[in-house]
């Protein structure tokens, strides 16, 4: 099981690292903008320093650019910052071309923003480390998100060295529970969803009762 937090805020990383279950963190330009950070190499260097201090096992940072050449340059610069970085590349024509070149240069890659099961075929053929389907957005687009992810999972099971399916855009702890029960084991969670992981009001009440019994 690998759980990432969707955040560029090291205070979030540290908070969930103390809980003992976080594997790493994922970022993209939207996350950086939402959390008040610039999307540039200076920011990425700061994030790498923070990730080392927190003790993350992986940090995923998205390459940027409108052409394959720009994505390759960005991805190469990001990958050079730390050996535990995974470079995220969008599943577009330019992104796939860039991913092919970066993988040949031994850069670890997540193909992100997946919306169709057939994109898993390209991810397997390219040798990507991860593919990130957007579960919540698929549901909101009235797509059969569960079947799409199940098809991806079937392809993964039938092919050696397949990428991990990094399920993103999860909207509730109930969705996470359902996906894990279906066999998925790699997730990227917002801080709000991550905060709910493993917690339950009845468990809290039981803990209170245990303490009351000890003190009585």
Q: Is the pLDDT of residue 150 over 90?
A: yes
Mean pLDDT within 84-109 = 98
141: containing domain: 2-215
Please report the pLDDT score of residue 19 as a whole number.
86
- Write out the DSSP string of 79-148: HTT-TTEEEEEESSHHHHHHHHHHHHTT--EEEEEE-STTHHHHHHHHT-SEEEEBHHHHHHTT--HHHH
Please report the pLDDT score of residue 199 as a whole number.
62
Please report the pLDDT score of residue 211 as a whole number.
72
Mean pLDDT, the chain, as a whole number?
93
**Edge-to-edge strand list for the sheet holding 85-90:** 164-165, 130-133, 109-114, 85-90, 58-62, 24-26, 2-6, 186-189
Q: Is the pLDDT of residue 212 over 90?
A: no
Quote the tokens at residue 49. 């320093």
Please report the pLDDT score of residue 202 as a whole number.
58
Mean pLDDT within 107-133 = 97
Q: Is the pLDDT of residue 4 over 60?
A: yes
Q: With CA atoms as reference, report the closest residue to 119 among 156, 76, 64.
A: 156
Q: What kind and span of H or E run contains 151? A: helix 145-157
End-to-end Cα separation, the chain, in angstroms: 40
Mean pLDDT within 76-96 = 98
Separation of alpha carbons 57 and 26, rounded Å: 11
**Cβ atoms of residues 32 and 63 within 8 Å:** no
Q: Is the pLDDT of residue 5 over 70?
A: yes
Mean pLDDT within 20-35 = 95
Please report the pLDDT score of residue 210 as a whole number.
58
Lowest-confidence segment of 9-23, 139-153, 188-202 by average pLDDT? 188-202
The model carries a pTM of 0.92
Question: In the chain, how many domains are there?
Answer: 1
Q: Residue 59: count other Cβ atoms within 10 Å of its Cβ.
A: 25
Separation of alpha carbons 215 and 205, rounded Å: 15
**Residue of 153 and 20 predicted with greater confidence:** 153
Find the CATH number of the domain harbouring 32.
Answer: 3.20.20.70
């Amino acid at each position: 099981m690998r759980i990432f937090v969707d955040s560029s805020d090291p205070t979030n990383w540290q908070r969930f690292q103390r809980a003992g279950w976080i594997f790493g963190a994922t970022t993209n330009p939207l996350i950086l903008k939402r959390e008040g950070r610039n999307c540039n190499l200076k920011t990425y260097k700061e994030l790498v320093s923070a990730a080392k201090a927190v003790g993350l096992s992986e940090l995923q940072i998205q390459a940027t650019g409108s052409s394959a050449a720009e994505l390759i340059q960005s991805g190469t610069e990001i990958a050079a910052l730390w050996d535990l970085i995974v470079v995220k590349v969008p599943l577009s024509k330019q992104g796939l071309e860039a991913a092919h070149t970066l993988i040949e240069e031994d850069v670890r890659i997540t193909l992100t923003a997946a919306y169709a099961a057939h994109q898993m075929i390209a991810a397997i053929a390219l040798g990507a480390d991860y593919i990130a389907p957007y579960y919540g957005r698929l549901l909101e687009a009235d797509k059969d998100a569960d079947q799409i992810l199940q098809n991806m999972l079937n392809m993964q099971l039938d092919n050696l060295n397949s990428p991990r399916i990094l399920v993103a855009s999860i909207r509730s702890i109930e969705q996470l529970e359902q996906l894990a029960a279906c066999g998925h084991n790699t997730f990227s969670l917002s801080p709000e969803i991550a905060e709910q992981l493993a917690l339950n009001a009845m468990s809290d009440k039981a803990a209170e009762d245990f303490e009351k019994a000890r003190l009585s």
